[in-house]
Amino acid sequence: MNLFSRLRIGTRLYMAFGLVVMLLVGLGLVSISRIDVITANTQRITDVWLGGVQHLGTLNATTSNYRVVQMQYVAGSHEAELSSYTRQLATHQKTIAEALQAYQPLISSDDERALFTRFAANWKRYVDNWEQDVLPMAKDRMQNEAMMLLNSDAMVLYRQAKKDLDELMSISRSGAESASQAAQAAGALAARVIMGTIVAAIVLAGLLGWLLGRSVVRPLGKAVQATRSVANGDLAVYIDIESNDEVGDLLRAQQEMIGNLKRLIGNVQQAVEAITTGAGQIASGNQDLSNRTEEQASNLQRTVSSMEQITGTVRQSADNAQQANTLAAAACDVAERGGRMVGDVVATMNEIQNSSRKISEIISVIDGIAFQTNILALNAAVEAARAGEQGRGFAVVAEEVRSLAQRSAQAAKEINGLISDSVSKVDSGSKLVNETGQTMNDIVSQVRRVTDLIGEITAASREQTSGLGQINNAIAQLDQVTQQNAALVEESAAAAESLREQAERLSSATAVFNLGHSSLGHAGPGYSGVSKAHAGLPSAAVSERSAALKPAALKKAPAGEKAASATRPSLAARPSQHAAASASAGSSSMASSRASAKTADAADDGWDEF
């Protein structure tokens, strides 16, 4: 039993079912072997003995019919009858030969074979007697002699053959009866063997089932008893584990679970004291937070007043910068228009200078024409003088032409002088205009630079205004945070009270467990520290302080900031929800209590770092 209990449940099941399968296989093999014996006997009866009897019956009937036809042939007188009898005799002889040939393979003993050989020999002598002695007499119409011979010598041979045939039939019947008896005996033996095997399989399977059930049920009973003890709060229970199977593993795991649960309850009892300490620290943190909230509220009021002054100054600077930017833009436009006008003057002066140069060139051409005309007039006067009296009129004309050419040359010189003086003055004016245009371009560039600087100043003023708006929003948010902190102080006081109630419930819940040794000291007296801490910070005082802080901060906030604060989602609801969740967590399980203790420690660290 101990060896069987050390095996795994799976191994036991495999062994039990394997043994049952082996018994079934053995039963099947025995059944198959007995059935094979019965089948062989039945097959022998069917194929050998019954077949032999059938063939012997055929021989018996055919030989009798052969004898009858012989007598009919001897007594017959018509040729048609004799021909029919001859055919019948041949048919019967063929049937007898086939039956002998079919029966010969079925012979099972030497005596039977000797008897079969004797029958075949006697029948052959009988047939030879018929064919050699009786048939010739019958054909010669010696019917009486043939009938006497048929009933004398042939009759002796026929009776000997019939006797051998009867003995062969007796042997076949006795062999069939022996085979039938052997088949019945084999069937009875098979039934007894199969029944014995079934009974042995049932007994062995029942024994294995009882051993297997006992090896599983007893350890499971121990597990159930231990579970009931733990359910009743007794953690000092010890489980005696004897098996190494899966149920033994379950019992060891259950024993380990009980040990872990025992340590868990001890840790929970220690955590009760830690929870009370944390509740006192939360109360102290509430007091510190209240003082800091008041100081922060007064600082925020002064900050709001200073930010209002800064905002007014920055807005005025932004307005002045905007006006200066407008004036600079107007000056830039005037300078640009002056620059364009100077550019037009420079272009006009350049055109006048080009026209003067063209006029000077034309005057030079006119002066050249007058000089050539004067030369031609001198030549004409010389030719007129040579002509004498006939050329006097032509000489007068040439003189006049010369005079006109000289005056034209003189006028051209004067005009050339005036044009040269105008060109020099135009060149001087063009230089002055170009210098003026360059100066105007410099002025326009500087004005544009001044405009850009004023624009940058304006943009910076706008950014400062936007930054001040963000600062005002941040101050408004700080004001809201201050209000929320004031509300959080009140809610923290409620949470500390709820935490104290949690500790009381947790202590009552763990008191029902028997750890088997002196339990850890409960932190009952520690609750008084929490109560005193709450006494130093009444929830009503906290409510009044937070209510006093809210209107003061709202009065200092600008209208736009108040609107922004109004549109921003209220965060004051979150601590209320947190307090409600803390209050509902008071009725949760031990795991929730341990989580609340961790939350309290984390909250205490937050108050120290605020």
- Residue 339 neighbours by CB under 8 Å, 6+ apart: 437, 440, 441, 443, 444
Q: Is the pLDDT of residue 588 over 60?
A: no
Is residue 480 within 8 A of residue 565, CB to CB? The reply is yes
Check whether 357 has a pLDDT greater than 70: yes
> 434: domain CATH number?
1.10.287.950
Of the pLDDT bands very low, low, confident and very high (cuts 50, 70, 90), residue 592 is: very low
- The angle, 0 to 180 degrees and rounded to 10, between the axes of the packed helices 527-536 and 392-510 is 130
Distance between CA atoms of residues 175 and 41, nearest Å = 11
| Structure confidence by residue, pLDDT tens digits, 325-339 | 787 777 777 777 777
Question: 476, 483, 477, 486: which is closest to 291 by C-alpha?
Answer: 486
Consecutive H or E run containing 259 = helix 246-387
Residues β-bridged to residue 288: none
Q: Which of 84-93, 96-105, 165-174, 276-285 has the lowest mean pLDDT?
A: 276-285
Q: Which of 33-47, 275-289, 555-569 has the lowest mean pLDDT?
A: 555-569
**Which runs of consecutive H residues, i.e. helices, occur in 9-109?**
9-44, 50-75, 79-103
Q: Average of pLDDT values for 336-350?
A: 75
| Residues 32 and 166 reside in one and the same domain | yes
Q: Is residue 232 part of a domain?
A: no
Is residue 108 included in any domain, yes or no?
yes
Specify the DSSP class assigned to residue 109.
Answer: S
CA–CA dist 72, 86 (Å, integer): 10
**How high is the pLDDT of residue 23?**
77
Which of 460, 441, 240, 451 is CA-nearest to residue 343?
A: 441
pLDDT tens-digit readout, 487-528? 777 777 778 778 777 877 777 777 766 666 544 444 333 333
pLDDT-based confidence at residue 130 (cuts at 50, 70, 90): confident
Answer yes or no: is 241 within a domain: no
As a whole number, mean pLDDT of residues 117-126 equals 88
DSSP 390: G
Lowest mean pLDDT among 132-136, 239-243, 424-428: 239-243
Per DSSP, helices labelled H in 130-152 are 135-139, 143-151
The verdict on 215 and 277 lying in the same domain is no
C-alpha span between 493 and 501 (Å, rounded): 13
Please name the amino acid found at residue 60.
N
Average pLDDT, the chain: 72
| Residue 514 bridge partners (DSSP) | 234
Tokens in use for 315?
Answer: 């807005």
Number of domains in the chain: 2
Confidence of residue 360 (pLDDT cuts 50, 70, 90): confident
Torsion angles phi and psi, residue 244, rounded to 5 = -115, 20
pLDDT of amino acid 46: 55
The pLDDT value given to residue 261: 78
Q: How far is CA 251 from CA 3, 12, 254, 309, in A?
A: 19, 19, 5, 79
Are 280 and 348 in the same domain? Answer: yes
Q: Which tokens sit at 7? A: 């095996």
Same domain flag for 216 and 259: no
Question: Does residue 230 lie in a domain region?
Answer: no
Does 350 share its domain with 402? yes
Predicted pLDDT at 51: 62
Paired strand residues for 234: 514
Q: Residue 6: what pLDDT? A: 62
Tokens coding 277: 């300490």
Count CA atoms within 13 Å of residue 361 on its CB side. 6
Which two three-digit tokens encode residue 137?
């007499």
Q: Cα dihedral sign for 142, 145, 151, 156?
A: negative
Query: Are 208 and 257 contained in the same domain?
Result: no
Q: Does residue 240 lie in a domain region?
A: no
The answer, yes or no, to whether residue 593 has pLDDT greater than 70, is no
Distance CA 304, CA 310 (A): 10
**Domain extent at residue 537:** 250-514+522-609
Tens digit of pLDDT for each residue in 445-467? 887 787 888 788 878 877 877 88
Alpha-helix runs per DSSP H in 232-245: none
Report the alpha-carbon distance of residue 474 to residue 44 in Å, rounded: 115
Residues 408 and 532 in one domain: yes
Residue 167 or residue 28, greater confidence: 167
| The amino acid at 573 | A
Q: In this predicted structure, what is the pLDDT of residue 176?
A: 66
Final residue of a domain: which of 206, 222, 238?
222
Position 536 scores a pLDDT of 39
Same-domain pairing of 269 and 193: no
Q: Is the pLDDT of residue 17 over 50?
A: yes
Q: Could you tell me the two tokens for 136?
A: 């010739």
Tell me, yes or no, whether 204 and 273 share the same domain: no
Q: Which parts of 537-572 fold into alpha helices (H)?
A: 539-556, 559-567
> Do 59 and 100 touch, CB atoms closer than 8 A?
yes
Q: What is the pLDDT of residue 561?
A: 42
* Ramachandran angles phi, psi of 514, nearest 5°: -100, 110
All residues at 6 or more sequence positions from 71 whose CB lies less than 8 Å from its CB, including other chains: 147, 150
Residue 3 has what pLDDT?
58
Q: What is the mean pLDDT of residues 62-86?
A: 84
What distance in Å separates the CA atoms of residue 189 and residue 27, rounded to the nearest whole number? 13
pLDDT in tens, 189-204: 777 877 887 888 788 8
Nearest to 215 by CA among 244, 194, 176, 186: 244
Whether the per-residue pLDDT at 126 is higher than 80: the answer is yes
The answer on pLDDT for 480 being more than 50 is yes
The pLDDT assigned to 44 comes to 55
Give a yes or no: residue 113 inside a domain. Answer: yes
C-alpha span between 5 and 19 (Å, rounded): 18
Between 296 and 537, residue with greater pLDDT: 296
Higher-confidence position of 385 and 69? 69
The better pLDDT of the pair 267, 40 is held by 267
> Could you say which of 205, 222, 239 is where a domain stops?
222
Looking at the domain assignment, is residue 105 inside a domain? yes
**What is the mean pLDDT of the segment spanning 252-267?**
80
**Same structural domain, 441 and 294:** yes
